[in-house]
Amino acid sequence: MITIGLTGWSDHPLIQRSANKKLIEYAGHFPVVELDTSFYAIPKNETIMSWIEKMPDIFQFFPKAYGVMTLHKPYQEEFTTMDEAFEAYLDAFQPMLEQKKIKAFLFQFPPYFDCVKKHVNYLRYVKKQMTELPVAVEFRHPSWFSKTNKERTLAFLKDQGWTNVVVDQPQTPNNSVPQVPEVTAPTLSVLRLHGRNYEGWLGENVTDWRAERTLYHYSEDELRDFADLVKQLESDADEVCVIFNNNSGGHAPQNAKELQDLLGLDFSGLAPKQLDLF
């Protein structure tokens, strides 16, 4: 099975008309969405319940782990212990888990989270907290996939039962990992596409990184390469979920639709479509 979605549902005017119905309109086009707001704050229970109630049965969320849980910011600002942060996060998402609305939890670690013993130990701690819940891991420091560490990193992910997030991103010196098309969890493979804006990803002389970091439109040839990659991953995984994160210029919906056409996919069971692209 192949599913396709975008990062967030708020900034895709190509598939949305109504300011107050963006999630419903989004769900008329794609069966999964990456929930990026959970990186910045743990959603309130009532907010999560309202999202669930609006969605068709097949729709799933791909929530990002809260920034405290990925060491982007210290837990001491809000919690007494790190355990409390995990407890609060998982408690918030319990309704989604109960209704099988979670594709997986995305742990995207920062560029300074390198492959050293203390960080490997932290990953073991994450496993203890997340138990058998589905987890997808995206690294940003190249040391995880260096010649010395690549096979050990993949073996570790397999041992934890976690999904290796296959990324497409500019290959800048210190905040990028190579594309590693390896399936580490048989149930789910994730391909996350950030675009190829080298200068925006590098971040030097960039005044507004949100507006430039993922400013990129994939060409038809590039999308054909992704279609081949998806088919390769599908041979080893029950599901391949493709997430387009090239949102800065609004290119993600069109590229996602183009890849859907190249793969000949028809997502059934979606919300009634209120706006067609073509």
Q: What is the pLDDT of residues 96-137, one digit of tens each?
A: 999 999 999 999 999 999 999 999 999 999 999 999 999 999
Residue 171: the pLDDT is 87
Nearest to 23 by CA among 61, 78, 65: 61
Residue 205: the pLDDT is 60
Eight-class DSSP state of 271: P
Q: Any bridge partners for residue 166, and if so which?
A: 191
Locate 186 and state its tokens.
Answer: 């048989």
Confidence of residue 269 (pLDDT cuts 50, 70, 90): confident
The helix (run of H) or strand (run of E) holding residue 158 is: helix 150-160
Tell whether the model's pLDDT for residue 144 goes beyond 50. yes
Tell whether the model's pLDDT for residue 268 goes beyond 70. yes
Q: How far apart are CA 17 and CA 5, in angstroms?
A: 18
Residue in the block written with tokens 């279609």: 227
Q: Which domains does the chain have, with CATH numbers?
A: 2-263 (3.20.20.410)
Reduced to 3 states (helix: H, G, I; strand: E, B; else coil), residue 38 is helix
The proportion of the chain whose per-residue pLDDT surpasses 90, expressed as a percent, equals: 71
Residue 222: the pLDDT is 96
User: What is the Cα 232 distance to its own chain's centre?
Assistant: 19
User: What is the Cα 135 distance to its own chain's centre?
Assistant: 11
Torsion of CA 176, 164, 235, 260, to 10 degrees: -60
Residue 246: the pLDDT is 92
- Compare 169 and 174 and report the one with higher pLDDT: 169
Instruction: Provide the mean pLDDT of the chain.
Output: 90
Q: How far apart are CA 5 and CA 257, in angstroms?
A: 9
- Compare 89 and 28 and report the one with higher pLDDT: 89
